[in-house]
A and B are shown apart, each in its own frame.
Chain A
C-alpha cells in the first residue's frame, strides 16, 4: 500500500496533441479517488500514465516514495481492472488469476492460497476451472477484479470497470467494489464518466475537463460548491440551471441578491433546490410556465420557461405534483441555493 503523488503530469502525443496538462494530485494511502469527466477529457489517459501503459511526457509520478515515470507497469506494483476485463480467453479462471503471480515466481502454495482467498471473497470459487467465455458479464467482472486482488498491489487502477454491465448489476458491483476497497484499504484510482458512480464511490472526486483538473474535493463538496460552471453542469442530474444574473435581478427584490459577490453574472441553481412550497422567510420566488412534466416514479422533472428567457429550465421535485402542463407555477428557493459564477472565466465567485 502506498500513496500516489502526481506533480504537474502532462501528456503530449506525437504531433503536438495535448491530452493531459499540469495535473497535480496527492492520493493518500488507502484513499479512493475517482477521476470523472466527459469522454475525451483525458481521464483514461491519466490513469494509463499512472499504470505505465502511456509514457509520461511531463511532470513526476511517485508511487510511495519511488519516482516511477520510466518503470514498466509490472514494476510499479499496481493492478489494473480493464473496461472490457481483458481476461486471457484460453486460460481458466484460476490461471487468469495466477498468471501475474507465476510471472513473479511466487511459490505455488502461496499462489494457491491467494487465488483461493480472492475467489472466495468475490464468490467465484465455483468457476475456477471454467474459461472466461463460459462466464456471464458480471462473473467476468469479478474475475477481472480477482486478478487485481491476488496481486495485493500498492494501488488498484480501475478503467471504467462497470460500463459493460447492465444497470442492475452495475449498482450491485459498485457497492461491492466500494465495500472491498474499504475493507482492504488499498489506494485506488477509478475512472468513470458516470457521475453517479463517481459520487457514490469516491473519497475524493477529481473532475477533469480538456486534460486539466477542474475541481478536486469530496463528492459533497463538489456537489455543494462546484468550482466552475463546467463542474456545475457535469455533476448533478439533471444538470444545474444557469440563469443570467441580470434577468434574475429584474424579477426578484434587490436585497434578495445582496449576498452574492459583485461581478457574478451567471447564477447557478440546482433543479432540486426549487420547490412548490410557499417561500420561507428571506427566500425567493420565481414564476414560470410549465412546459412539460416528466414523472419518474419517486420524483418528477418539470421543464419550465421563465418569463423573459428563451431557454427551458428544469425543476426536480421529490414527488409528482398535480399540476397541468401550460399552467403558471411559483417556485420558491433559499438564497443559499444560488451559485454565483463569472460567465467569462467560468469560475465560482
Chain B
C-alpha cells in the first residue's frame, strides 16, 4: 500500500489537473480573445497567446459600448446587474429567514399547509410562470424598473427550506432561555437566530447572488429601456445585434468583466463560509 501511494497520488493529481483544465480552458480562451484586435477570432485559428490589444479593447467596452448595436457602455449594465442581484439576494434572504422563522417557531392554523404551499413553489420557477408573471408586472407598471427586475424573483422556497432545516437543529432551550431573559420573538430572531445562521446566510448569499447575476430571460422580457439592461442580456445583444460579424474581441472583454463580480463575491464570502464549516458552534 505504501509503495503504491506515489502512483496513486500521481493518478489522483492527473485526474484533478485534467478536470481543472477542462473547466479553465474556456475561461482562458475568453481572456485571450479579449486581448486580440478585431478579426483574429473569426479567422478560424484560435490564438492561445495574449494579443496586443488588451488595453484598447477594455477601454472601448467600458467607455463607449457598442452604440451601433444598441448596447450602452457596460459600466451601467454592470451596475444594473449588481443592483438586481443584490436586491434579489437580500430580498430572498430576508423573506426566507422570516418565513422559516414563522414556520418553525410559531403555531398558527394551517402551518403545515403553508409550508407545503411554499415548498410547492419550487416546482414553479420563473420560466414556468413567465407569462402570468409578466402580465402582473406589466399591470403593476413595473416594466423597465428595478422593482420589476427583482421582486418577482425574490420568493425562494429553497432558502426557506434550508433555513427551516437549520432552525430545527437549534436547541429549543435557546428559545426558552431567551424567553426567560425577556427577549420577545423578534428580539430572539435578531439577537440569536440570525447570528447563529450567519454561515448559512453567507453560503446562500453566494448562491443567490450568482442566481440573480445570471438572470437572462426575465430581464430580457421586461426591459426595453437600455438604461435597465443587465450585463448578461447585454452580452447577448452584442452577439446578435448589428449586421456585421459579432465583434468577438469586445464580447469576450465584456464576458470577462461580467464574470468578475460573482468571483469577487465568492472570494469575499468564502472566508465566512469556510469559517462556518470549520468552527462549528455548539
- Give Cα A90 to B275, complex, Å: 13
- If A84-B173, A86-B174 touch, whether A72 touches B179 (CB-CB below 8 Å) is yes
Q: Is B182 an interface residue (CB 8 A)?
A: yes
- Give Cα A101 to B166, complex, Å: 28
- Give Cα A89 to B196, complex, Å: 8
Spot the interface stretch: A73-81, A122-130, A331-339.
Answer: A73-81
Which 10 A-B residue pairs are closest in the complex by CB-CB distance?
A: A100-B181, A86-B173, A74-B182, A103-B182, A86-B177, A89-B281, A90-B195, A73-B180, A82-B173, A73-B179
A-B contact list, 18 entries, CB within 8 Å: A51-B176, A52-B179, A53-B180, A82-B173, A86-B171, A86-B174, A86-B176, A88-B177, A90-B195, A90-B198, A99-B178, A99-B183, A100-B181, A100-B182, A103-B181, A103-B183, A133-B282, A147-B177
Q: Is A183 an interface residue (CB 8 A)?
A: no
Give how many A residues have a beta carbon under 8 Å from the other chain's beta carbons: 23
Q: Is B221 an interface residue (CB 8 A)?
A: no
- Give Cα A103 to B198, complex, Å: 22
Q: Is A168 an interface residue (CB 8 A)?
A: no
A84 CB contacts on chain B under 8 angstroms: 171, 173
- Give Cα A123 to B281, complex, Å: 24
Which chain A residue lies CB-closest to B173? A86
Determine which of B176, B198, B282 lies in contact with A82 in the assembled complex, contact meaning CB atoms within 8 Å: B176
Query: Which residues of B from 22 to 61 have beta carbons under 8 Å from A?
Result: none
- Give Cα A53 to B195, complex, Å: 24
Q: Chain A's nearest CB lies how many Å from the CB of B197?
A: 10
Which chain A residue lies CB-closest to B187? A103
Query: Which residues of B from 170 to 208 have beta carbons under 8 Å from A?
Result: 171, 173-174, 176-183, 187, 191-192, 195-196, 198
B171 CB contacts on chain A under 8 angstroms: 84, 86
- Count contacts between A and B, CB distance < 8 Å: 62
Residues 46-78 of chain A, each 1 if its beta carbon lies under 8 Å from chain B, else 0: 000001110000000000000000001110001
A80 in contact with B183 (CB, 8 Å)? no
Interface class of chain B by DSSP: helix
Q: Chain B's nearest CB lies how many Å from the CB of A216?
A: 26
B281 in contact with A133 (CB, 8 Å)? yes
Q: Chain A's nearest CB lies how many Å from the CB of B166?
A: 13
A90 CB contacts on chain B under 8 angstroms: 192, 195-196, 198, 281
Q: Chain B's nearest CB lies how many Å from the CB of A72?
A: 7
- Give Cα A78 to B178, complex, Å: 13
A80 in contact with B177 (CB, 8 Å)? yes
Which chain A residue lies CB-closest to B183? A103
A52 CB contacts on chain B under 8 angstroms: 179-180
B183 CB contacts on chain A under 8 angstroms: 74, 99, 103
Which chain A residue lies CB-closest to B279? A133
Residue of B173, B174, B187, B195 contacting most chain A CB atoms (<10 Å): B173
Q: Is A259 an interface residue (CB 8 A)?
A: no
Which chain B residue lies CB-closest to A83? B173
- Give Cα A99 to B171, complex, Å: 18
Query: Which residues of A from 69 to 119 have beta carbons under 8 Å from B?
Result: 72-74, 78-80, 82-84, 86-90, 99-100, 103-104
B180 in contact with A74 (CB, 8 Å)? yes
- If A84-B171, A133-B281 touch, whether A99 touches B176 (CB-CB below 8 Å) is no
A82 CB contacts on chain B under 8 angstroms: 173, 176-177
Q: Chain B's nearest CB lies how many Å from the CB of A187?
A: 16
A74 CB contacts on chain B under 8 angstroms: 179-183
- Give Cα A21 to B227, complex, Å: 71
B176 in contact with A88 (CB, 8 Å)? no
Determine which of A51, A87, A104, A133 lies in contact with B182 in the assembled complex, contact meaning CB atoms within 8 Å: A104
Which chain B residue lies CB-closest to A100? B181
A72 CB contacts on chain B under 8 angstroms: 179
A89 CB contacts on chain B under 8 angstroms: 196, 281-282
B191 in contact with A99 (CB, 8 Å)? yes
- Give Cα A133 to B191, complex, Å: 18
B174 in contact with A88 (CB, 8 Å)? yes
Q: Chain B's nearest CB lies how many Å from the CB of A347?
A: 37
A51 in contact with B187 (CB, 8 Å)? no
B181 CB contacts on chain A under 8 angstroms: 74, 99-100, 103, 147
Residue of B178, B198, B282 contacting most chain A CB atoms (<10 Å): B178
Q: Chain A's nearest CB lies how many Å from the CB of B276?
A: 11
- Give Cα A83 to B172, complex, Å: 12
Residues 136-164 of chain B, each 1 if its beta carbon lies under 8 Å from chain A, else 0: 00000000000000000000000000000
- Give Cα A73 to B175, complex, Å: 12
A100 in contact with B281 (CB, 8 Å)? no
Q: Chain A's nearest CB lies how many Å from the CB of B123?
A: 33
Which chain B residue lies CB-closest to A104? B182
- Give Cα A140 to B183, complex, Å: 21
- If A86-B171, A86-B173, A88-B174 touch, whether A78 touches B281 (CB-CB below 8 Å) is no
A88 in contact with B192 (CB, 8 Å)? yes
Residues 2-15 of chain A, each 1 if its beta carbon lies under 8 Å from chain B, else 0: 00000000000000
